[in-house]
Chains A and B, each alone.
Chain A
């Protein structure tokens, strides 16, 4: 009964989004702590699940990192052994019952394709050289604790807290979504034309795990980037091809970008100071950051792509 309901409607993104890009070494060292504070502040908007994409500890050239999630916590050792046999494992780190970070000595695309093919029951939350995505159907406070987010350093991070429309909250519907290497998306709002777009993107060879509208937006960006667009160009394509309400924050290996739809009913506040640039759905998340009181605060204009870091083609 539940699955029939899930099938007839895609989860819109009722939630909080946060993002931070470090401009100083001090901020990089404490990036996880900053992201954690922001996430917890956005729990009211999104009590049901949380996720973060953090860019840190780049794997050496030719290597890659996969963040994996499995409902079956008992099978991890076998899974890691299998990966080691198949493509090699440089390091595997379990996080809690269901998550693991695995570094492999092959490129991210090859690693991802191998796991998709050989371990279909294991979900790939992220694949790339730098990105790590963790997401789970637990409260933001539990999330930051379980994943020790406050201890992490990194160059930039995007986070998301979700108010789930379905009652059986599963991690699958959580953000950030990643359909490309070192790429991620968080979304606040509700798209209205994603179902047909999903079909088209499937025909272009992109896989989907949910019926979620945000996943379609992530896939759309992946597809445009694959075709050679810059990130700005891909986001500008959203203005043409996506219908509905959205504040998007997109992460790439180098930085992040923000876009609001032309009507801009969903909130977005940004702030910048010498140490960081940050975005959040509500100012009070930004207020948790050191130096926020004196930071420049503004709201992104509708239909304008803002980006930080050298954002290039994936």
Chain B
């Protein structure tokens, strides 16, 4: 091992030069494809760098804008989701929810931890592909139930037990995704829950079986409301592709809440090419979505929940400033409860990975006991501890959001607005539709 300019990669020798086009990761992937004859599958969201909230900054207090004192002057964080039609909208204490993640991808104790942490902080969790488990309903005070193309485990009792229903049109990691997930095997418990043979390759449908298009979605939503006597809010979740049109159509189809998931949003498993090359960044998706809501006269009446790479209070504050009513977290919640823990580095090494890098979630061998159906591995995961850790993390995120909001003079976090933001790069300025820092210029519009 040699060093040059601090480069200490194994096998490195002075004078070797890496290609940007055929970098080591690309070469490795081509070699793997040549060996295996099938696409690479992994979990998580887009890994490559895209314009994001990191390219935005909040303008704090100044001579013309006065901040609020932390701790003594209120900065409210509560939010109501779904009061457009439902008899019982969701009333959450914080504007951060836990996104849909499937039991089957996650272990039962992992789902329990998410429920515990969310309930402690007065927010909701969401079921995923595979349906509602008793553990999740038992531990989650507010539970959103997904209606997915697969319809695994779908039943009217769970619809009635849910606090809200989320019709999933798509998700950010794989908008339009479906097809075979070759090599992703189904375990016994999951097979039983989903009425599938064990040990076979997983397939997923990309369209719903009984409706296609917003005109027919409208009728489907009507059915869901009828089955649940119009009690529950109906969410519609879309992956970020054409957000202006998708949000407008979701509203016209009758959605009470729209959930918008950018390309950084995670998945348990899908083809790598899908994750990295389909869908648009979360940052780019929000302004068109908000514009659609404003033009239809329903901004803040049909709530917008944004997900896809939300990591900290700064991301939350910026998403709210752009017009979201709340955000949803997936990967961050899993890291909080214990995914990719550094204590497990040796274990990750045994399965060809390292803590902070592990994304072969579909293989079900997660030493943290989160992405697994193996009873022994799952038993390692302490759900109560995980729940506390999630609550700690959520508390931190919300305090951060409040800190930033107060600095901008807001007594309520949803009062953050686009005028509180500036951008560091031309791309981010154009996507977020806020000026480049220190200028009046929003690329694509006339400078004033």
Please list the residues of chain A having a beta carbon within 8 angstroms of any beta carbon in chain B: 1, 4-5, 9, 12, 14-16, 44-48, 163-168, 188-190, 245, 265-267, 281
* B244 neighbours in A (Cβ, 8 Å): 5, 9
Q: Is the C-beta of B252 less than 8 angstroms from some C-beta in chain A?
A: yes
Query: Does any Cβ of A come within 8 Å of B436's Cβ?
Result: no
A168 touches B295 (CB 8 A): yes
Which one of B207, B216, B249 contacts A165 once the chains associate, using CB atoms below 8 Å? B249
* Known A163-B252, A189-B213; contact A45-B218, beta-carbon cutoff 8 A: yes
A84 to B263, CA, bound (A): 58
Contact A266 B212 (CB under 8 A): yes
Contact A45 B215 (CB under 8 A): yes
Q: Does B296 contact A (CB under 8 A)?
A: yes
What's the nearest-Cβ distance from chain A to residue B151, in Å?
Answer: 16
How far apart are the CA atoms of A66 and B207 in the complex, in Å? Answer: 42
| Whole-angstrom distance between the Cβ of B322 and the nearest chain A Cβ | 15
Q: Which of A15, A45, A47 has the most CB of B within 10 A?
A: A45
Contacts of A47 in B (CB 8 A): 252
Q: Which of A4, A166, A168, A281 has most B Cβ within 10 Å?
A: A166
Q: Can you name 24 A-B pairs with beta carbons within 8 Å? A: A1-B444, A4-B444, A5-B288, A5-B291, A9-B245, A12-B213, A14-B214, A14-B252, A15-B215, A44-B219, A45-B215, A45-B218, A48-B252, A163-B215, A163-B252, A164-B248, A165-B245, A167-B248, A167-B296, A188-B215, A189-B213, A245-B212, A245-B213, A265-B212
How close is A211's CB to chain B, nearest CB, in angstroms?
12
Residues A163 and B212 in contact, CB atoms below 8 Å apart: no
- Name the distance in Å between A287's Cβ and chain B's nearest Cβ: 15
Distance between Cα atoms of A5 and B295 in the complex (Å): 13
- B296 partner residues in chain A, CB cutoff 8 A: 167
B213 pairs with A16, CB closer than 8 A: no
Name the residue of chain B whose CB is nearest to the CB of A188: B215
Closest 5 CB pairs of A and B: A167-B295, A265-B212, A165-B245, A45-B215, A14-B215
Residue numbers in B under 8 Å from A5 (CB-CB): 244, 288, 291
Docked pose: A215 CA to B245 CA in angstroms = 18
Interface class of chain A by DSSP: loop
Q: Which of B218, B219, B242, B245: most chain A CB closer than 10 A?
A: B245
Q: How far is the CA of A103 from the CA of B234 in the complex (A)?
A: 51
Neighbouring A residues of B444 by C-beta, 8 Å? 1, 4
Which chain B residue lies CB-closest to A168? B295
Q: Is there a chain A Cβ closer than 8 Å to B445's Cβ?
A: yes
- Which chain B residues (227-253) contact chain A, with CB distance < 8 Å? 242, 244-245, 248-249, 252-253
With A and B bound together, what is the CA distance between A96 and B52 in angstroms? 50
Residue in chain A with minimal CB distance to B293: A167
- B interface vs A, CB < 8 Å? 207, 212-216, 218-219, 242, 244-245, 248-249, 252-253, 288, 291-292, 295-296, 444-445
Contacts of B207 in A (CB 8 A): 265
Q: In this complex, which of B207, B214, B215, B245 has the most chain A Cβ atoms within 10 angstroms of its Cβ? A: B215
Residue ID in chain A nearest B246 by CB atoms: A165
Look across to chain B and name the residue whose beta carbon is closest to the beta carbon of A45. Answer: B215
Cβ of A281: which chain B residues have Cβ within 8 Å of it? Answer: 215
List A contacts of B292 (CB < 8 A): 167
Nearest to A167 among chain B residues (CB) is B295
CB distance from B48 to the nearest CB of A (A): 23
Q: Could you say which residues of chain B place their CB within 8 Å of the CB of A189?
A: 213
Closest to B214 in A: A14
Distance in angstroms from A243 CB to nearest chain B CB is: 14
- With a cutoff of 8 Å between Cβ atoms, the chain B residues found around residue A168 in the complex are 295
Question: In the complex, which residues of chain B have a beta carbon less than 8 angstroms from the beta carbon of A267?
Answer: 216
Q: Are B248 and A1 in contact (CB under 8 A)?
A: no
**Is B215 in contact with A46, judged by CB distance below 8 angstroms?**
yes
Q: Closest residue to B296 on the A side, CB-wise?
A: A167
Known A9-B242, A163-B252; judge A14-B213 contact (CB<8 A): yes
Q: Which residue of A lies closest to B241 (CB)?
A: A9
CA gap between A207 and B26 in the complex, in Å: 46
Cβ-closest chain A residue relative to B213: A14
A165 near B212 with CB under 8 A, answer: no
Q: How far is the CA of A281 from the CA of B219 in the complex (A)?
A: 12
Min CB–CB distance A210 → chain B (angstroms): 15
CA distance A163 to B292 in the complex (A): 14
Beyond A4-B444, A167-B295, A190-B213, list 18 extra A-B contacts (CB 8 Å): A5-B288, A5-B291, A9-B242, A15-B215, A45-B215, A45-B218, A46-B215, A47-B252, A48-B252, A163-B249, A163-B253, A165-B249, A167-B292, A167-B296, A188-B215, A189-B213, A265-B213, A281-B215
Residue B248 contacts which of A15, A165, A190, A245 (CB distance < 8 angstroms)?
A: A165
By CB atoms of chain A within 10 A, which of B212, B219, B292 has the most?
Answer: B212
**What is the CA–CA distance of A4 and B244 in the complex, to the nearest angstrom?**
12
Q: Which residue of A lies closest to B297 (CB)?
A: A167
Shortest Cβ distance from residue B421 to the other chain A in the assembled complex, whole angstroms? 17
**Chain A contacts of B252 at CB under 8 A?**
14, 47-48, 163
Closest to B251 in A: A167
Q: Is the CB of B249 within 8 A of A14?
A: yes
Residues on the B chain within 8 Å of A265, using CB: 207, 212-213
Q: Are A166 and B245 in contact (CB under 8 A)?
A: yes
A164 to chain B minimum Cβ distance, whole angstroms, is 8
Q: Residue of A at shortest CB range from B212?
A: A265
Query: Bound state CA distance, A265 and B216, in angstroms?
Result: 10
Q: CA of A4 to CA of B288 in the docked complex: distance in angstroms?
A: 11
How far, in whole Å, are A4 and B445 apart by their CA atoms in the complex? Answer: 11
